[in-house]
Copies of this chain bind each other. A is one copy, B any other.
């Protein structure tokens, strides 16, 4: 591999000059520049990014911590992040925290030890206090799907409360009043807020909130099945079901079918996230769109702007979910009651 020295020699200039044309951050005469470029060409010179990093104290890499690499949710997000950075010659290092406090800490340490210029973290287990402390460090931290007021300008999140609200409202608009809710685990703020939105919608329509019509699942498919089974076994009356995310909705759909429900007539179900496979389900799942890819692009732009001083168009910190009507809701009027299962 050719080095900057060989280039400088061949071009008959100093290494400093070569470095200048490389980064074109200083005046270089056209003649000199040409000589240098020609020499680089001839030698097939490629700058050594490691040496550049050592000297400039910048690695052009940003670390990203997510719960899992696979899975529809993070996939879309990572994809947006990667493409945005790649276009500007920066690379991304993904690592996983598995929604576990210890492992999230390790992941972040790992990324920091890699000298990332910035970190994007989607934490599900770390405390606000820990993240605040972290942000005092040398590596800028950006938070995704999380809001910590002291770090507001480094946070990007979804209005989950509003999402929960419009989900339940969509059900109510179809005439349903007995609405069961399968929530994600409350220690996840997303789950919490979505449930709050659900309550607000109920309140707005003077429907009493019934604690017995709430089940706390795990955001997994099984959680949805378990939840619906719980409602059925406890002989609750309900004609519609709102789920904290699409996986659970899918699990609930499957269980409903096993119990002989005809969907959506016997039970209206709405999900949350609008993960890609929702349109594969039968009936196609009505859900709430969570623009994760857009959010991925946006965090990337935030760090591009804050850390790399790129000029960027406007920054958006709060994203709004929207209702995606499909085929899993039926008006209450024409729906037979879900009571059939509890008879």
Query: Which A residues lie at the B interface, using CB under 8 A?
Result: 1, 46-51, 53-54, 59, 61, 68-72, 75-76, 78-79, 82-83, 86, 89, 91-96, 110, 113-115, 138, 221, 250, 253-254, 257, 276-277, 280-282
Question: What is the total number of copies of this protein in its complex?
Answer: 2
Smallest CB separation, A271 vs chain B (Å): 11
Partner of A69, one of B82, B110, B254: B82
Residues of B within 8 A of A82 (CB): 69, 94-96
- If the complex has contacts A91-B114, A113-B49, are A76 and B70 also in contact, measured as CB distance less than 8 A? yes
Report the minimum CB–CB distance from A186 to chain B (whole Å): 25
Residues of B within 8 A of A71 (CB): 75
Name the contact of A115 in the complex, choosing from B49, B89, B95, B114 (C-beta under 8 A).
B49
Quick one: closest B residue to A48, CB to CB?
Answer: B115
In this complex, the member of A70, A78, A83, A92 whose beta carbon has the largest number of chain B beta carbons within 10 angstroms is A70
Q: Which residues of B contact A70 (CB under 8 A)?
A: 72, 75-76, 78-79, 276
Knowing A49-B114, A113-B49, A282-B254 are in contact, say whether A94-B96 is a contact too (CB < 8 A): no
A93 to B89 CA separation, bound complex (whole angstroms): 13
Closest CB in chain B relative to A75 CB, distance in Å:
3
Residue of B nearest to A82 (CB): B69
Cβ–Cβ contact A250 & B280, under 8 A: yes
A54 to B3 alpha-carbon distance, docked (Å): 13
Query: In the complex, what residues of B have CB within 8 A of residue A94's CB?
Result: 78, 82, 92, 94
How far, in Å, is A188 (CB) from chain B's closest CB?
21
CB–CB B69/A78 < 8 A: yes
Contacts of A61 in B (CB 8 A): 93
A72 neighbours in B (Cβ, 8 Å): 70, 72
CB-CB nearest in chain B for A77: B70
Q: Inside 8 A of A110's CB, which chain B residues have their CB?
A: 86, 89, 91
A332 to chain B, nearest CB (A): 23
A79 vs B47: C-alpha distance when bound (angstroms) = 31
CB distance from A284 to the nearest CB of B (A): 8
Min CB gap A113→B, angstroms: 6
27 contacts between A and B (CB under 8 A): A1-B138, A46-B113, A47-B113, A48-B54, A48-B115, A49-B113, A49-B115, A50-B53, A50-B59, A69-B75, A69-B78, A69-B82, A70-B72, A70-B75, A70-B79, A72-B72, A75-B75, A79-B96, A82-B94, A83-B96, A86-B95, A89-B110, A221-B280, A254-B280, A280-B281, A281-B282, A282-B282
A103 to B: closest C-beta gap in Å? 10
In contact, A50 and B281 (Cβ under 8 angstroms): no
Most buried by B among A91, A93, A276, A281: A91
Q: Which B-chain residue is minimally distant from A75 (CB atoms)?
A: B70
Given contacts A86-B110, A91-B93, A254-B282, 18 further A-B pairs with CB under 8 A are A48-B54, A50-B54, A51-B54, A70-B72, A70-B75, A70-B76, A70-B79, A70-B276, A75-B75, A79-B96, A82-B94, A83-B96, A91-B95, A92-B93, A92-B94, A94-B94, A254-B280, A277-B277
A285's nearest neighbour on chain B, judged by CB, is B280
- Min CB distance, A91 to chain B, in Å? 5
